[in-house]
Amino acid sequence: MATISGIGGKQVTPEEDHYDDHRYQYAFSSFEQDDRIAPGLIVYPANKQEIALALKHAKSQGVAVAIRTGGHQYCGASSTIAPNIQLDLSQTFTNKEKDLQYFEKDGNAFVRTSVSWPLGEFADFLGSHKAFVPHGQYVPDSFSRVLETLSHLSGLQSY
């Protein structure tokens, strides 16, 4: 698949040597035999305008778009197969002053974040402000990791 004209962010096609590094995600081993994680093009848009351009291109070509944000989706839904496009937003909104904020107002604490932060970095940011918001399963101690794994295996994880 050809790359999209006008996109300044990185674009990776299956023909490139480092393609496997870019298509990899946490659920990869679950779907390796199905080859469900093999997009025709992986796009790392630099901004909102490039996201819009990629979506317009996909529509004009009649292909689907799978969106990956901070890393993965447990069932592989953040990827796709060729000729479809994976839109990877993991590097798009990572300005720490604008895309990850903690502030207090009128006795209340607020957190504003983008979709590009991996849960580990987000949890570290919250911890540095002694704050908590429900955001997924990231806990640093080993017993909690066992509980986390069991919850995912038993389907208790919410999506």
pTM of the predicted protein model: 0.75
* pLDDT tens, position by position, 3-35: 999 999 999 999 999 988 887 765 555 555 666
Question: In the chain, what percentage of residues exceed pLDDT 70?
Answer: 70
Integer Cα distance of 130 and 39 in angstroms = 39
- What pLDDT was estimated at residue 76? 57
- What pLDDT was estimated at residue 85? 94
* pLDDT tens, position by position, 22-81: 877 655 555 556 666 789 999 999 999 999 999 999 999 999 998 888 655 555 566 788
34 or 132, higher pLDDT: 132
Which of 11-23 are b and which e, b meaning 16 or more Cβ less than 10 Å from the residue's Cβ?
bbeeeeeeeeebb
Question: Mind listing the domains of the chain with CATH numbers?
Answer: 11-88 (3.30.43.10), 100-152 (no CATH)
Closest Cα to residue 30, out of 75, 78, 66?
75
Mean pLDDT of the chain: 80
- What pLDDT was estimated at residue 155? 46
- What pLDDT was estimated at residue 56? 96
